[in-house]
A and B are shown apart, each in its own frame.
Chain A
Amino acid sequence: MVIACADMDWGYDYDSSFTPEVYVDASYAPLFFAPRDVFYDIVFEDKYTTRFNDALVGEWITYLKGSTLADTQISTMLLNDGKTSGINDAYNALQKKQPLPANLAAVGSNEKAKNFVEFLYHAKVIDSHQGRQGGTATYEDTQSPGSRSTAKADWCLCTIPLPILAQIPLNVGPAMGAAISAVPYASAVKVGLQFKRRFWEEDDHIYGGITYTDLPIMNIGYPSTGYHSGGKGVLLAAYIFGINAMDFTAMPPEERVRKAVEYGSQIHPQYHEEFDNGVAMAWHRSPFTMGCFGMWSDESRARHYDNLCQIDGRIALAGEHASFLGGWQEGAVTSALDAIGRLHQRAVAQGEKA
């Protein structure tokens, strides 16, 4: 086998993108390949998993010539997806000295064939965070940097936002892996401005509601409570998406506030006189989400959504990003209920094996 490293990734600590020459079967993906990486010549390669199958199966057939394994059996084991009987069953049967699956009975009588089964099995499970019996998560207590703890569970329902999850080593198949890396997150910014008095009520008779504007601040939201309560008041002085949000994100926070005052004063001249203080939030600077919410297109829905929402071994994902109600708590809740329901069905169906 030839293994060549073509790592063009920026995350040297996180993943590598070995060329797919080693590829035979999707279940090998965690070992060798970060989906959605750039390859020389090929560019973005999402669906390469069968490209080298014929050559690889051919190599193994040559190697195993003279063993008890028929060519079709070798091919079946190499290309088996791990869900149907094949390499895993053959390995387990050998370990437990139990009868082999009928289609692989010939393995038991030949040393070369037995070694091949053991090799193939271990090649698939090495470095596996997600075993057949459950999942393990390694985490760091941010109060004690560098610490490492682990949590084990039968199942993992993961609600980590995709831009973060895409950077965490995760032992899922290439389909879910590609889906995790394929959802850009919307840019959004809010600016809150505090004024010395509630001039919008006192001067302009505005009680709640929203001003929509062509200005880069896009929206001004007025409080719906505490009318004429005296003293200072706070406006949602900007609620921004798209290019304007990217631009505001790129500004230092003080400048975002200054710009919100500047633009908003074209609508409410009182801003100049009454401005007291302000705060700005850009979702792409939120360290635990790196964005506001997942942006799906019709194309990416068609290509990746089902793969994102499937149960992959012992892992399922939930959150607004795994729903059709993107950006809403409702989407996150319904996604969680749906995922838990499916995990429950799976666990019940598996009985004691779960």
Chain B
Amino acid sequence: MRSRFERLPVRRLRVAPLALLAATIATAALADDNSVTSTAGLGNAGGAEIYGHICRGCHMPGAQGAAGAGHYPKLAGDPALVSWQYVALTVLHGKNGMPAFGQQPTGEAMDFLLVHLSDAQVADVVNYVRSNFGNHYKGSITAEQVAALPHPGAASPASRK
């Protein structure tokens, strides 16, 4: 991983404050949508923006899922969404190639590639998918409830014997 980015001629995302400001201004200048593609934009994104700009890439518009050699789960009408813990844990830990959005980036390469969502954002996007796309699960969850779940890199409760 590291070697890839030592050799790939790509700029690091951690830019100087001035460059970051320039990027924010540039993004704001063309903001014809709720772009999350800046550090500031991602930080302010709520459930709908997170689904629209991140999840939708794979789970598709309308959360219809997709099938190729493998498949992306259809979240619309997915009975597993009855468990908010299941949805939140999947967002936090990822699954089968899906990134772990609860992972804190460590090191340059991961800073560059990983997208970290706060507990409040995880709660937001969980609430969003459980109450849209024909899903009508009751009970919004809070950042505190997400914070109480195991996060990637933290000691797993499974180690309790």
Q: Is B158 a contact of A8 with CB atoms below 8 Å?
A: no
Does A36 touch B at the CB level, under 8 Å? yes
Residue in B closest to A167 when the chains form the complex, CB atoms: B70
Q: Name A163's contact: one of B10, B13, B42, B96 (CB within 8 Å).
A: B96
Residues of A within 8 A of B95 (CB): 36, 181
Does B157 touch A at the CB level, under 8 Å? yes
Q: How far is the CA of A166 from the CA of B20 in the complex (A)?
A: 38
Q: Is A250 a contact of B149 with CB atoms below 8 Å?
A: no
Does A38 touch B at the CB level, under 8 Å? yes
Residue in A closest to B93 when the chains form the complex, CB atoms: A44
Does A276 touch B at the CB level, under 8 Å? no
Q: How far is the CA of A214 from the CA of B41 in the complex (A)?
A: 14
Q: Which of B76-100 contact A (CB under 8 A)?
A: 78, 80, 83, 85-86, 89-90, 93-100
Q: How far is the CA of A219 from the CA of B8 in the complex (A)?
A: 11
Q: Is B69 a contact of A184 with CB atoms below 8 Å?
A: no
Q: Is A299 a contact of B153 with CB atoms below 8 Å?
A: yes
Residues of B within 8 A of A284 (CB): 57-58
Residue in A closest to B110 when the chains form the complex, CB atoms: A297
Q: How far is the CA of A164 from the CA of B67 in the complex (A)?
A: 11
Q: Name B96's contact: one of A181, A219, A243 (CB within 8 Å).
A: A181
Residues of B within 8 A of A9 (CB): 80
Residue in A closest to B45 when the chains form the complex, CB atoms: A243
Mask for B30-65, Cβ within 8 A of A = 1, else 0?
100001111000100000000011111110000000
Residues of B within 8 A of A46 (CB): 156, 158
Residues of A within 8 A of B157 (CB): 42-43
Q: Is A219 a contact of B36 with CB atoms below 8 Å?
A: no
Q: How far is the CA of A212 from the CA of B58 in the complex (A)?
A: 27
Does A200 touch B at the CB level, under 8 Å? no
Identify which of A225-233, A322-330, A340-348 touches chain B: A322-330
Does B134 touch A at the CB level, under 8 Å? no
Mask for A301-327, Cβ within 8 A of B = 1, else 0?
000000000000000000000001111
A43-B149, A243-B36 in contact; A325/B3 too (CB < 8 A)?
Answer: yes
Residue in B closest to A41 when the chains form the complex, CB atoms: B157
Q: Is A187 a contact of B57 with CB atoms below 8 Å?
A: yes
Residues of B within 8 A of A38 (CB): 85-86, 89-90
Q: Is A326 a contact of B89 with CB atoms below 8 Å?
A: no
Distance in angstroms from A43 CB to nearest chain B CB is: 6
Q: Is A214 a contact of B56 with CB atoms below 8 Å?
A: no
Does A64 touch B at the CB level, under 8 Å? no
Residues of B within 8 A of A244 (CB): 37
Residue in B closest to A142 when the chains form the complex, CB atoms: B69
Residues of A within 8 A of B1 (CB): 295-297, 326-327
Q: How far is the CA of A69 from the CA of B83 in the complex (A)?
A: 46
Q: Is B97 a contact of A162 with CB atoms below 8 Å?
A: yes
Residue in A closest to B149 when the chains form the complex, CB atoms: A43
Q: Is B158 a contact of A45 with CB atoms below 8 Å?
A: yes
Does B138 touch A at the CB level, under 8 Å? no
Identify which of A22-30, A88-96, A125-133, A285-293 touches chain B: A285-293
Does B139 touch A at the CB level, under 8 Å? no
Interface residues of A (CB under 8 A from B): 8-11, 36, 38, 42-48, 51, 160-164, 166-168, 181, 183-187, 210, 212-216, 218-219, 239, 241-244, 246-247, 249-250, 262-263, 266, 282, 284-288, 290-291, 293, 295-299, 324-328
27 A-B contacts (beta carbon < 8 Å): A36-B95, A47-B158, A164-B69, A167-B96, A181-B96, A184-B97, A213-B11, A215-B23, A216-B35, A242-B112, A243-B42, A243-B115, A244-B37, A247-B36, A247-B37, A250-B52, A250-B53, A250-B54, A250-B57, A262-B30, A285-B57, A287-B69, A288-B69, A295-B99, A295-B113, A298-B106, A299-B153
Interface residues of B (CB under 8 A from A): 1, 3-4, 7-11, 13, 15, 19-20, 22-23, 26-27, 30, 35-38, 42, 52-58, 66-73, 78, 80, 83, 85-86, 89-90, 93-100, 103, 106-107, 110, 112-115, 149-150, 152-153, 156-159, 161
Closest 7 CB pairs of A and B: A287-B68, A163-B97, A249-B57, A214-B23, A166-B96, A184-B99, A10-B73
